[in-house]
A and B are shown apart, each in its own frame.
Chain A
Amino acid sequence: MGAEFVQFSLTPILIGVLAAISCALPGNFLILRRQALVGDAISHVVLPGIVVAFLLTGVVATVPMLLGAGGAAVVAVILIEAVRRLGRIEPGAAMGVVFTTMFAGGVLLLEQSDTSRVHLDVEHALMGNLESLIWFRADGWGSLLDPVALADLPEELGRIAVVCLMMVVLTCVFWRWLKIATFDEGFARSLGIPAAAVGFGLVVAAAVAAVAAFDAVGSIIVIAMFICPPAAARLMTNRLGVQVAWSVVFATLSAVLGYVLAGYGPLWLGFGNAVSAAGMIATVSGVILGLACMFGPHRSRIGQPRGAGA
C-alpha cells in the first residue's frame, strides 16, 4: 500500500468518491421531490450533448461539454413537449421516448466519429474510465507534497473537486429554500420564495454533476449515484440533515468499496482479471440500498400517500 497505491489507486478512488458525492447531494432532493427520473433523464441526455460538443471543438474540456449537455437538455425539453402534444401521450412516455432516443443517437454518433485520440467512445460513455485516471508522476505518499508531481495530477480530479465543492456550497447556502420548496411548494411560494427557480436550479445542478461525473463513472452509472445513496440514507433517519449526511457516507463507501472490490475482488475469488470499477461502484451502492431496505431503522412508510389537491 505504498507508492503503487498512490500512483494507481489514489486518484481514481478520490475521483470516484467526489463524483459519487456530487451526484448524491442533489439526488437527495430529487428523490424527495419524486423526481428521481429526472436524474435518469439527465444521465441519458448529456451523452449526445457531450459528443456534439466534442465534434465541434475537437477537445474534451469542461466548458464545451457543459454547454453541449445544456443544449441537449433544451432540445430534450422541446422534443418532449412536441411528442406529448403531437402524439397526445402522457408526459412519462414522452420523456422515456425522447431520452432513450437521444442517448441512442449519441451512441451512434460516437461510433461514427473519430474519437480514438481521446477517452470518448461507447465503452467509456457507458462505464467511464476510472481505472485510467492514474497519477503517473507519483512515487509514494511524498508526492502529495511535491509541486511537480501535483501539477501532473489528472485534470479530471480538479474538475470533479470543483464541482463537488460547488454542490456542497449550493446545498448549504440554499438549504432552507431547498427544504421548504421540496416539502411544501405552495407554502414556499406564499412566503415569496422563488420555488420554481429553486426546482429549476436543482435540475441544473444535477446536470452539472452528471456531466462532471461522466468522465469517471460513465453516463449510465451516474443514475445509481443520484438515487442509491440518498434512497438508502432516507431509510436510516427521519431528519433531512441526517439523511444528507448518510447519503454522503454511503456515496463514499460505494466509491471506495466498489473500486477496491473491482480491482481485487476477482483476484480473491480466483479469477484472473479485474472488473469495471464503475460497474462495481454502482453494484455496491445497490447492495447498500438493499441492506438499508432490509435493516434500515426507518424503512416503513407510515405517512399517507400523496393526495390530489382540489
Chain B
Amino acid sequence: MTATAPIRGEAPALVARDGQAPRPDSVPIDAPLALRGVTVSYGDRPAVFSVDATFPSRAMAAIVGPNGAGKSTLLKAALGVIPRLSGEVHVYGQPIDQARARIAYVPQRASVDWDFPTTALDVVRMGLYRRVGLFGRMSGAMTDRARACLDRVGMADFGNRQIGQLSGGQQQRVFLARALAQDADLYLLDEPFAGVDAATERAMIDVLHGLKASGKAVVAVHHDLATVRDYFDHVFLINVRRIAEGPVASTFTAANLQATYGGRLAATHLDTLDLATAAP
C-alpha cells in the first residue's frame, strides 16, 4: 500500500480532540474506504466526533468499540444511510457518491422487518437493483447469479422460502448473499455475527476470507473481542472519537483497549483475550 501523503500526524488522539487540526488534502488513491473528519450527531450529542479512518485494501478490517461508541453510526454515516454533520468519505479515492457501484452493504439483521412478503431469492436479487435500475429487465442470467450467491452461503435450497421462515443465521446468510450479488470491491458489514449460530459464523468467515483472497476489502462492525485476532487483519478502535487504528498485530493491545473501553472492560476480561503485545 502506498499512500500519496502521510495520513496523520504523530499523535492521533490530539488530532481528534478538537476537530480543528489541519487535515491532509489528499486521500490515498488505493484505500478502499477513507473517512476525513466525519461527525454525526443525534440531537445535540455527538455520536461520532471528527473521525479520520483509512481502511486497507485486500484486508479484513474490524470497527471495534463499546456499546454506544458509534461503531454502526460511523458505518452508516460513511454510506450516507444517516446524514453526516460534517466530513468526507472517499472510496478508492473517489467521493462515495461516484463509487456506489463498488460498494456492497450488509445492514444489521434487526434493522428490517422479516415479515415482509418476499423470498430469500428475491432479497438476493435486490443486490442487483442498482444494475437493473427501475425499468431494466431482471434477466434469467441475473436470477441464476442470485442463485449462485445463495449457494455460496449454503442457502441454495432456501431460495423460495419466505424470509420470515428462516432462522436468524439463515437470514444473515441471505443478507451476505445479497451483498455478494452486488459484486463489489468493498464490503461493509454491520454486526454480521450478532445472534447467529456458530456454523453460520464459520461459513460467513470462510466467504469473507475468500473475498479478501480475491483482492476485495472487508470492513465489519464487530463486537466480539475474542475473535478479532482470528478473523481480522486490521482494527479500528472507536469510542465516539478515534482511539487507534492499524494492523491487529500491533494495534489490538491491552493499552488501546483500555483507552477505548475505559473502566467498562474488566482486567480479568483482558487477560482472557489473545492480545497483541504492546506496540513497538
A interface residues (Cβ-Cβ under 8 A, vs B) = 32, 34, 173-177, 179-180, 182-184, 186-187, 189-193, 234, 237-240, 242-243, 298, 301-304, 306-310
Contacts and interface: CB of A to CB of B under 8 A. Distances in A.
A238 B118 contact: yes
Contacts of B67: 310
Given A238-B117, A238-B118, A186 B111 contact: yes
Contact of A304 (B97, B103, B114): B114
Given A176-B134, A310-B71, A184 B117 contact: no
B203 to A, nearest CB: 21
B134 A174 contact: yes
Nearest to A306: B113
A304 B169 CA distance: 12
B44 interface: no
A187 B110 contact: no
B107 A187 contact: yes
Contacts of A190: 79-81, 100, 103, 105, 107, 188
B80 A191 contact: no
Contacts of A174: 134
Indicate the member of B97, B132, B134 with the most A CB atoms within 10 Å. B134
Contacts of B71: 310
Contacts of A303: 113-115, 163-165
Contact of B164 (A34, A191, A301): A301
Contact of A309 (B110, B126, B135, B178): B110
A187 B263 CA distance: 35
Interface of B: 67-68, 71-72, 76, 79-81, 97, 100, 103, 105, 107-119, 123, 126, 129-130, 132-135, 162-165, 168, 178, 188, 191
B81 A189 contact: yes
B97 to A, nearest CB: 7
23 contacts: A182-B116, A183-B112, A183-B113, A183-B118, A183-B126, A186-B76, A186-B79, A186-B81, A186-B111, A190-B105, A192-B97, A192-B130, A239-B117, A240-B117, A301-B115, A303-B114, A303-B115, A307-B109, A307-B110, A309-B72, A309-B111, A310-B67, A310-B72
A189 B68 CA distance: 23
Nearest to B133: A176
A257 B123 CA distance: 37
Nearest to A310: B72
B129 to A, nearest CB: 6
Contacts of B113: 32, 34, 183, 303, 306
A183 B105 CA distance: 15
Given A32-B116, A186-B76, A189-B80, A180 B111 contact: no
Contacts of A242: 117
Indicate the member of B116, B163, B165 with the most A CB atoms within 10 Å. B116
Contact of A187 (B97, B126, B164): B126
Contacts of A301: 115, 164
A302 B165 contact: yes
A179 B122 CA distance: 11
A304 B168 contact: yes
B162 A180 contact: no
A184 B100 contact: no
Contacts of A183: 112-113, 116, 118, 123, 126
Contacts of A234: 117
A238 B107 contact: no
Indicate the member of A179, A184, A298, A306 with the most B CB atoms within 10 Å. A184
A310 B80 CA distance: 16
- Which 5 residue pairs of A and B lie closest in terms of their CB atoms, listed nearest first? A303-B164, A307-B110, A303-B114, A238-B162, A190-B105
Nearest to B76: A186
B261 to A, nearest CB: 16
Indicate the member of B113, B117, B132, B162 with the most A CB atoms within 10 Å. B117
Contact of B129 (A176, A238, A239): A176
A187 B116 CA distance: 15
Given A182-B116, A303-B163, A191 B81 contact: no
B110 A191 contact: no
Given A190-B100, A190-B103, A180 B126 contact: yes
B118 A240 contact: yes
Contacts of B80: 189-190
Contact of A310 (B108, B114, B162): B108
Contacts of B114: 303-304
A183 B162 CA distance: 13
Contacts of B97: 192
Contacts of A173: 134-135
Contacts of B168: 304
Indicate the member of B76, B112, B132, B165 with the most A CB atoms within 10 Å. B112
Contacts of A186: 76, 79, 81, 105, 107, 111
